[in-house]
Amino acid sequence: MWTDAGLPGEPPHDLRFSPHLLIAFTGSALTGPLSWPDNAVLVGPALAERPADLDFPRDWLDPGRKHVLISMGTLAAENSHGFYGRAVEAVRPLGDRVQAILTAPPETIPDAPDHVLVRTRVPVLELMPQLDAVVSHGGLNTVCESLAYGVPLVLAPIKGDQPINASQVEAAGAGLRVSFARVRPEVLRAAIVTVLEDPSVRASAAAVRASFAAAGGAAAATEQLARLARGDQDASWREREGSLESPA
């Protein structure tokens, strides 16, 4: 881009990142300590209220069973039919203790059992307090929304940053990673049961939730931008869980 713009020499900094401030909507509980770039600030997810989905059948949810959301994202919908079919087979034997909500056009899952609700769209954030696990492609939005509520994950990454996100979740102990293309129903079932029942996974997801909450979200990002505008930023800023460090 620098060369195409007709600018001379080499760029003065890595053009992928601002030389002034980099705000990342994740947290050190996932990324680990950052050694670069020096001006990165991790603020956790910035979540906002969304319009209610008045058509969602809330009375379908059985409080006596655990609830799993299976969503591979809208961008990967066309490539996810095979995975969704295997996911249905994975949860098919679990109807006595699990209800699954699967985001796909209902006509693409014609044989879903009664304990699997198939809908094109669902109110994800509204459902989070009632969810016990999320099966996802590992997009950062879904990962951070889930962990902001302490919901553990089974991740089947497809492309882009998704393998990195899945590895971070697994390293944090807050979920498991499976193969999008090759996972068999019985393996996916075992992963779902593990994140539903293993107390260590749920404890790790809760620890990430606490880290995200302490990082400050949108309010922390706003404060960092305001400090940048005032000119009192310092390149040595680092995330401090739950606080914003003043420049030396």
Task: Write down the domain spans for the chain.
Answer: 1-44+216-248, 60-212
Q: How much is the average pLDDT of 151-161?
A: 96
- The sign of the CA dihedral 157, 160, 162, 164 is positive
* pLDDT above 60 for 77: no
Q: How much is the average pLDDT of 3-27?
A: 91
Q: How much is the average pLDDT of 107-113?
A: 90
Q: How much is the average pLDDT of 99-120?
A: 94
Q: How much is the average pLDDT of 110-120?
A: 94
* pLDDT above 60 for 248: no
Both tokens of residue 13?
């900094």
Q: Given this model, what pLDDT does residue 245 score?
A: 39
- Report, in angstroms and rounded to the nearest whole number, the Rg of the chain calculated over CA atoms: 20
* pLDDT above 70 for 149: yes
Q: Given this model, what pLDDT does residue 33 score?
A: 84
Give the integer Cα–Cα distance in Å for 95 and 113. 8
Average pLDDT, the chain: 89
E strands present in the chain: 22-24, 40-42, 66-71, 98-103, 116-119, 133-136, 153-155, 175-177, 239-240, 243-244
Q: Given this model, what pLDDT does residue 152 score?
A: 98
pLDDT, tens digit, 9 for 90 and up, residues 205-223: 999 999 999 999 999 999 9
* pLDDT above 90 for 17: no
HSE on the CB side for 222, CA within 13 Å? 5
Q: List, as one string, the DSSP characters of 80-99.
A: -HHHHHHHHHHHGGGTTTEE
Model confidence at 81, in pLDDT bands (50, 70, 90)? confident
* pLDDT above 60 for 237: no
* pLDDT above 70 for 118: yes
Q: How much is the average pLDDT of 115-143?
A: 95
Give the β-pairing of 239-240 and 243-244: antiparallel
Q: How much is the average pLDDT of 182-193?
A: 97
* pLDDT above 90 for 80: no
* pLDDT above 90 for 34: no
CA distances from 110 to 96, 102, 118, 121 (A): 21, 12, 9, 17
Both tokens of residue 66?
């655990």
Give the integer Cα–Cα distance in Å for 194 and 199. 9
Q: Given this model, what pLDDT does residue 78 score?
A: 60
- 60-212: CATH topology is Rossmann fold (3.40.50)
Q: How much is the average pLDDT of 153-166?
A: 96
Provide, rounded to the nearest whole percent, the portion of the chain with pLDDT above 70. Answer: 91
Nearest alpha carbon to residue 238 among 25, 30, 22 = 22
